[in-house]
Structure 1
Amino acid sequence: MSLLQGTLATEFRTITAMVRIHCRDHHQPDDHCCPDCQTLLEYAQTRLDRCPYGEQKAACKHCPRHCYKAQPKAQIREVMRYSGPRMLLRHPILAIRHLQNERKDFPTKPPLNASNRAKRRQHSPE
C-alpha cells in the first residue's frame, strides 16, 4: 500500500508503469516485476515520499537537489529512456501528465515540512 497522495501518487503510478514496461520487455515476460525492478520501485517510492518539495515538485530530472544514489539514478534513466516513447501508446494520460510536469518550474526553496513523511509526522498522535 502506497503512502503517497495527490500528484506524488500519480508520479509513482507513472514510474510504476514505466518500470513494468521495461521489466516485461527485458527481464520477465509476465505482469510481475523481477526482484531488481521491484527494489527500484520501492526506492523510487521512498524518494518520492521524502521529497522536500512535496506536492509542489516538478520532474526529478530538473531538481536542484539530487536525492537518488548513483546506481538507482542510472537504472531509472535507462528505464525512462526505454519506456518513455512506449508510454504514449500504453498509458497516454500518464505520459502527457509526465511531460507537462517536466515543463513545470521548481520553487526556489522547498516549503517547510512539505514532504509526505513530514506531514504524517505532524498529524500522528504521539
Structure 2
Amino acid sequence: KNLTEERDELKKEINNLEQPGWTLFGGSAYFVSPTKRTWEESRSYCQSKGADLMVINSIEEQNFANNFRKYMWIGLSDLETEGKWKWVDGTPLTTRFTHRCLIKNFNSEGSWNDAECGNENYWICEKNLNSIKCPSPIWRHR
C-alpha cells in the first residue's frame, strides 16, 4: 500500500470510532450498549462496528468495565462445546465457570455470572486500536 492508502484507512478507522458512546482505555475503544439484546445479537452489533464483545485480559480492564455499573454481556461463552469456555478471539478461559454465556457483573473482582445466551442484557464491545496500522513516518534529513 502506498502512504495515501494507509492514511485513508487510518482515517476511516478513526471516523468509525467517532460515534457517541465509545470510550478509550488501554489501547482499545469500548462501547457500552444503552439497550438490551441477546448474546448473539450483541456480538453481531459489535462486529458490525469492526469490534467484538469485550475480552478481559487484566484486572485493570476488569476494573474499567466495573465503572459502567451494568450487567453486560462479555465475549466469553461455551457455545461451541458445553463446558469449554472460549473468548471470542479464540483463546481459552483459564478460570472455571459453569455453562452458557457470561455477564460481567460490576459488583466485585470475580464477578462473572453465566446466563442463558437468549436472555437480553446490556453488552460491551471492544475494538483493539493496536491493530490499526499507522502510516510510516517520513523522516527528512537536513
Class of the TM-score when normalised by the shorter of the 2 chains: under 0.3
Between Structure 1 and Structure 2, the one with more strand by share is 2
Q: Normalising by structure 1, what TM-score? A: 0.28
Between Structure 1 and Structure 2, the one with more helix by share is 1
Q: Look at both structures and tell me which one has the larger radius of gyration over its CA atoms.
A: 2
